[in-house]
Structure 1
Amino acid sequence: MGARVARMLRNFNLESRAHLELSRDKPRAAPRHPAPRHPAPGPEASDVAESIHGKNDPLLSLLKSVYVKSEDPAPSEAPKPAAAAHEEQQRRPLKFSLPGDLYGPGAVDVPRGKLSLVEALRALNSHKSQPATWTPEKLTQEYSLNPKDTKAILEFFTPFDVKIIPPQTERAKQIKGSP
């Protein structure tokens, strides 16, 4: 109901207010800053204009001597893109995989410098269980990784690491392990 009253007040005497607004004088635009229309011609201006619009015979003769011949390559002779050929050389076969093709069909190789999820978990777990055998250098060599990335992965990712934080008060409930 309030919207109906507001609309009535807003539309009250609308036509006369519109005529009043249209009959007012329009505001004038601000004056523009005076600026010279054309710079004063001098001896330098005429030399520049002449060099721009005049013919340069040595450059014109060089332009006439250029001949470009372009042909499309035959479809059978089309070379592979350089990125695709380079990528084929940079791929390596998977070291480990899970049975049942859990991570997608046809995953038989990965790019160099990358790990599949299964390989990453196995590498992190083997380093955690046998750090003397599986050093960062050996993991770098085994999986064709960047040494800096390998050290960062081993430092910041810890798989299967469960930490139980003891309660701060005596009254807090604790989860009791099964016997």
Structure 2
Amino acid sequence: MSNMGARVARLFRNFNLENRVHREIGKAKPEAAPRHQTHIDPVQSTQVTEISDAIHKRNDPLLGFLKSVYVESKDPTEAPKEVTEEKEERRPLIFSLPGDPYGIVEIIDVPKGKLSIIEALQALNNHKNAPQTWTLDKVALEYSLDLKDTKALLEHFIPFEVKIIPPKTEDAKKIKDI
């Protein structure tokens, strides 16, 4: 049924199409708006023409100077740079996951002043569980960190905690301990 409706719509849309096209083409086209008239002083117009003539006029002395210029370009020879690679101090990894976790290549050492993710979590967990033994100074010494960085690490990063909030009423369902 919808196919029938499309046919009827096409019939009305294409009805007398050629006559309508010729009528539209035959209409007079709208004229462009007139340009804004400018008032140029006759003195100024002569200066403009003189300047444009001077620009387009051939200047033989300048052309001679241009022809006398010769540019020779060569690639500069680079002096071999002395390779002074500063060997970054590294320390052996203290904690690592067994095996090949997540397809990551096993890291055996890290630069001093940096931590691996596993070491950072271990340091945070040690400090959280025993803050008297794992003080700021001990964590900084153990992992070769700056005191400022260690303080920021222990102050602003908190390892995951699971808190179970007891229900307000005794009738609520509870998760049984296993």
Is contact 2:88–2:111 with CA below 8 Å preserved after alignment?
no
Q: 1:8 to 1:73 in 2, by over 3 A?
A: same
Is the deviation greater in 124-133 or in 101-110? 101-110
Going from structure 1 to structure 2, the CA distance change for 1:20 and 1:130 (only over 3 Å counts) comes to same
Give how far 1:126 is off. 1.4
Q: Structure 1 length as normaliser, TM-score?
A: 0.58
Distance 1:106-1:169 versus aligned 2 partners, 3 A rule: closer
Q: Judge which range, 132-141 or 153-162, deviates more.
A: 132-141
Deviation, structure 1 residue 97 = 1.6
- CA distance in 2 between counterparts of 1:140 and 1:30 reads 80
Aligned equivalents of 1:6 and 1:79: distance in 2?
A: 83
Equivalent position amino acid for 1:147 in 2 = K
* Pairing 1:166–2:146 present: no
Identity across matched positions, percent = 36
| 1:113/1:144 contact within 8 Å kept | yes
* Structure 2 counterpart SS, 1:12: helix
Q: Give the count of matched residue pairs.
A: 163
The answer to whether residue 98 in structure 2 is matched with residue 99 in structure 1 is: yes
Q: Aligned-residue CA RMSD in angstroms? A: 4.7
Unpaired runs of 5+ residues, structure 2, are none
Q: CA-to-partner distance for each residue in 1:64-109, whole Å, 9 max, x for gaps?
A: 5x764315769xx6887x9xx57x6376543322232325224224
Q: Which amino acid aligns with 1:34?
A: H
Ranges in structure 1 where 5+ consecutive residues have no aligned partner? none
Matches within 5 A, 1:7-156: 7-13=6-12, 14-24=14-24, 25=27, 27-28=29-30, 30-31=32-33, 33-34=35-36, 40-42=45-47, 46=51, 55=62, 68-70=73-75, 89=88, 93-102=92-101, 104-110=104-110, 114-136=114-136, 139=139, 142-144=143-145, 147=148, 150-156=150-156
The whole-number CA distance in structure 2 between the counterparts of 1:161 and 1:153 is 17
Q: Distance in 2 between matches of 1:110 and 1:22?
A: 82
Following TM superposition, where does structure 1 have runs of at least 4 consecutive aligned residues deviating by more than 6 angstroms? Answer: 56-61, 77-80
